[in-house]
Copies of this chain bind each other. A is one copy, B any other.
Amino acid sequence: MNTYSPRLARLIEALRKLPGVGPKSAQRMAFHLLDRDRRAAEQLGLALNEALSGIGRCPSCRMFCEDAACRYCSPARRAAGQLCVVETPADLMAIDAATSYRGRYFVLMGRLSPLDGVGPEELGLAALQALLDDGSVQEMIVATNPTVEGEATAYYLAEMGKAAGIKVSRIAHGVPMGGELEYVDGGTLAHALSGRTPV
């Protein structure tokens, strides 16, 4: 319905590809960049080019990596003997920022989901197997999401770990801190009760 001029249309179309951005937001962003913040637009263009050319994947942990040596695969982290398996880079960042965990990570970049065509190969589980087999890992912490697919993935990973003779643990699921029992959903409450720990 709206007839944008060609360059404006292409900019709005490109902004719409960002997650969570619809046609209205994309138009707002484009007008904001063109009208009020051309410097920000320039910087965004530069940052995108720089990121695309410079950010790759660490072959070992599959996290984004832009240096020769991945910061999450440093010898110090290797020495910890722990490997935390997460679904996404955002999960890795969240755990690294909020916890004192300083071992290594392995980023699946997804979860097992046969219906969507995501199998062990897509998750790079061969690379994980190689990590488990090289003798540097004593404990594998499975930190996939507590969804159906995340749980299935966790089960698969646990089997892999056990086959390699490695201790496997799963992050705890239960009532979130600050949550009120009254308002917590039944599934979480059932998990919290069955996963109770001695005090």
Contact = CB atoms under 8 A, between A and B. Distances in A.
A34 interface: yes
A109 B18 contact: no
Contacts of A67: 5
A17 B44 contact: yes
Contacts of A48: 11, 14, 33, 41-42, 44-45, 48
Nearest to A109: B35
Interface in A4-54: 4-8, 10-11, 13-15, 17-20, 25, 27-35, 37-38, 40-52, 54
Size range of the interface on A? 35 or more
Nearest to A16: B40
A2 interface: yes
A115 interface: no
Contacts of A47: 7, 10-11, 13-15
A90 interface: yes
Contact of A97 (B2, B13, B40, B42): B2
